[in-house]
Structure 1
Amino acid sequence: MNASSNPIEISFELAASRCADLTPLVYQRLFDAHPETQAMFRSDGRDLVKGSMLALAIEAILDFAGQRRRHFRLIACEVVSHDGYGTPRELFIAFFAIIRDCLRDLLGDQWSIEIASAWDQLLVEIDAFAGAAV
Structure 2
Amino acid sequence: MTNPIQRSFELAAERCENLTPRVYRRLFREHPEAEAIFRSEGSDLVKGSMLALTIDAILDFAGERSGNFRLIECEVSSHDAYGTPRELFVASFGVIANALRGVLGADWSAEIENAWQELLQKIEGIVAASEA
* Letter matched to residue 33 of structure 1: E
Q: Is 2:19 the counterpart of 1:22?
A: yes
1:45: Cα distance to partner? Answer: 5.9
* Letter matched to residue 95 of structure 1: S
**What is the percent sequence identity of the aligned residues?**
62
The residue aligned with 1:92 is 89
Residue deviations 1:75-129 (CA, integer Å, cap 9, x gap): 0110111011111111000000000000001000000000000000000011101
Runs of 4+ with >6 A deviation: none
1:5: Cα distance to partner? Answer: 2.5
Give runs of aligned pairs for residues 104-115 of structure 1, distance below 5 A. Answer: 104-115=101-112
The residue aligned with 2:3 is 6
State how far apart, in whole Å, the 1-side matches of 2:52 and 2:100 are.
Answer: 14
Instruction: Give the superposed CA RMSD.
Output: 1.0
Q: Is 2:48 the counterpart of 1:33?
A: no
The residue aligned with 1:44 is 41
- Output the TM-score relative to the length of structure 1: 0.94
Unaligned residue ranges in structure 1 (runs of 5+)? none
* Letter matched to residue 2 of structure 2: S
Q: Considering fraction of residues, name the structure with more helix.
A: 2
The secondary structure found in structure 2 opposite 1:47 is helix
1:66: Cα distance to partner? Answer: 0.4
State how far apart, in whole Å, the 2-side matches of 1:102 and 1:54 are.
Answer: 12
The secondary structure found in structure 2 opposite 1:71 is coil
